[in-house]
Amino acid sequence: MVGQEIVSIEPATGAILWRQMPGDADTEIAIARASWAGWAAQPLACRLEVLRRFANVVRAKAEPFADLIARETGKPLWEARTEVDSVIAKVNISATAYAERSAQRKIESQGGRLAVRHKPHGVLAVLGPYNFPAHLPNGHIIPALLAGNAVVFKPSEKTPATGAFLVDCLREAGVPDGCIRLLIGGPAEGKALAGHPDIDGLLFTGSARTGIALNRAFADKPEKILALEMGGNNPILVWDAPDLASAAVLIVQSAFTSAGQRCTAARRLIVDERLHQPLMAELSKLLDRLIVGDPHADPQPFMGPVIDNEAADLLTESFVTLMSRGGRPVRHMQRPIDDRPFLTPGVIDVTEMNDRPDIELFGPILQVVRTASFEDAIVEANNTRYGLAASLVSQDPALYDQFWANARAGIVNWNKPTNGASSSAPFGGIGWSGNHRPSAYYAADYCAYPVVSSEADQARATIGIGLKDA
């Protein structure tokens, strides 16, 4: 942000990519409020057809869309392409989820029948993050529009160009302009949108700090829906795993994909102390080969920069702070270009550290904790206020059963990374990771509310007790 103008800068090059003055929340919400009823009155089949056209619009523009995401976020082009694929796939997934979770039903009951239908809330605000600036807000927007809501979408001030591109595609497909509004802005515009009396709900993906503030702000507004998808201090456990090379791959995928800028990224590696040294050797061999570079480089890098220099500075300071508090570096985090936010993966053993900070370090930092027993490993895994993702790498099914039963997280994986969640399943966590309104496949649940009707074809009623004789 330069002055009042919102300026998007490519993290990998420092070049200005996009700029625009902030919008006005009052104006955007008023337009959406005046428009949503007409959209809601359309048959579901009509709304679905428009959204299928949206998928086709994105498919036709997939390469420029991916290029924009790569430039604006710094993520490798291959990863940006997978994000565009997820945007396209969301339409069919949302249609299936709506049919399953929000379907109209008739229930025969004594003396008549019950009907269950769903209604849209009205005007929903969507606050999007910068790490997946198309896929994650789209995960709210598509089911919200399908249910008949209007949406006012404020993208992150760090990735506004991607948000604008997404909205343009929706409008080109035929979503009424009044039903998909784009609010460009920074924190002030976000607060104005979230706190506006004329929204019927807020769908948020972002940090725990912001999510908790929103939860407080909505505490006396039970009439408004609030869906929070926040971060995680996610553990990956390695125990009874003879294939340490595969374990190292799963660790790298969990901790360093997207430069560690995923809410499901592994922040903590908890390992059987007997496997510690050989596992660290395998991990180091793999990290030696990892390419960190420009998103359009050839060969493609595994990871690009973090989002900006401010984030890189904070992560570098955090690594130094962990060292100063007793952490032992396994692999130092480095900054190969002084004025650009490229960071190499940092690994630090914090086993001997007292009072380990329970925070989400949103970048390529992995903290290692050695334990002597599997029970201690589970205790350590749950030693967090967050509860988004957890993963076990082990060949023992009994250990996974024990892990699944005791891990406090909304996503519990076995011999898979902590990240890479499917849009065809619910996505959400507990504690500081969410407010029990999971997104992805279950987004249909917070985009419409059920209405139960007791119905009969004719009015026939009698009172059989408590009346005087006529």
Reported as a single tens digit per residue, the pLDDT across 308-322 is 999 999 999 999 999
Is residue 358 classed as helix, strand or coil in its secondary structure? coil
pLDDT for res 456: 83
**Contacts (Cβ under 8 Å, ≥6 apart) of 17:** 8, 9, 10, 71, 72, 161
- The phi and psi torsions of 163 (rounded to 5 degrees) equal -60, -40
Out of 10, 263, 282, 447, the active site residue is: 263
Section 246-259 average pLDDT: 98
Reported as a single tens digit per residue, the pLDDT across 149-196 is 999 999 999 999 999 999 999 999 999 999 999 999 999 999 999 999
pLDDT for res 113: 86
Reported as a single tens digit per residue, the pLDDT across 359-414 is 999 999 999 999 999 999 999 999 999 999 999 999 999 999 999 999 999 999 99
- The burial of 277, by beta-carbon neighbours within 10 Å (0-12 exposed, 13-18 middle, 19 or more buried), is given as exposed
Side chain identity, residue 312: A
Reported as a single tens digit per residue, the pLDDT across 205-224 is 999 999 999 999 999 999 99
pLDDT for res 2: 41
Q: State how far the Cα of 429 lies from the Cα of 410, in Å rounded to an integer.
A: 4
Confidence of residue 1 (pLDDT cuts 50, 70, 90): very low
282 is catalytic: no
Give the mean pLDDT of the chain. 96
- The phi and psi torsions of 344 (rounded to 5 degrees) equal -85, 155
- CA geometry: angle 76, 153, 388, nearest 5 deg: 60
Out of 229, 282, 360, 380, the active site residue is: 229
**Contacts (Cβ under 8 Å, ≥6 apart) of 340:** 11, 12, 13, 14, 305, 309
Q: Is the pTM of this model over 0.85?
A: yes
380 is catalytic: no
For the chain, give the longest Cα–Cα distance. Answer: 95
Across 125-134, 203-212, 335-344, 448-457, least confident range: 448-457
The answer to whether residue 110 scores a pLDDT higher than 80 is no
pLDDT for res 111: 66
pLDDT for res 457: 83
Query: Distance from CA of residue 445 to its chain's centroid?
Result: 16
pLDDT: which is higher, 106 or 133: 133
Reported as a single tens digit per residue, the pLDDT across 430-456 is 999 999 999 999 999 999 999 999 888
Domains of the chain: 6-230+434-455 (3.40.605.10), 234-414 (3.40.309.10)
pLDDT for res 17: 98
pLDDT for res 461: 85
Reported as a single tens digit per residue, the pLDDT across 35-56 is 999 999 999 999 999 999 999 9
The answer to whether residue 112 scores a pLDDT higher than 90 is no
- The burial of 74, by beta-carbon neighbours within 10 Å (0-12 exposed, 13-18 middle, 19 or more buried), is given as buried
Is residue 27 classed as helix, strand or coil in its secondary structure? helix
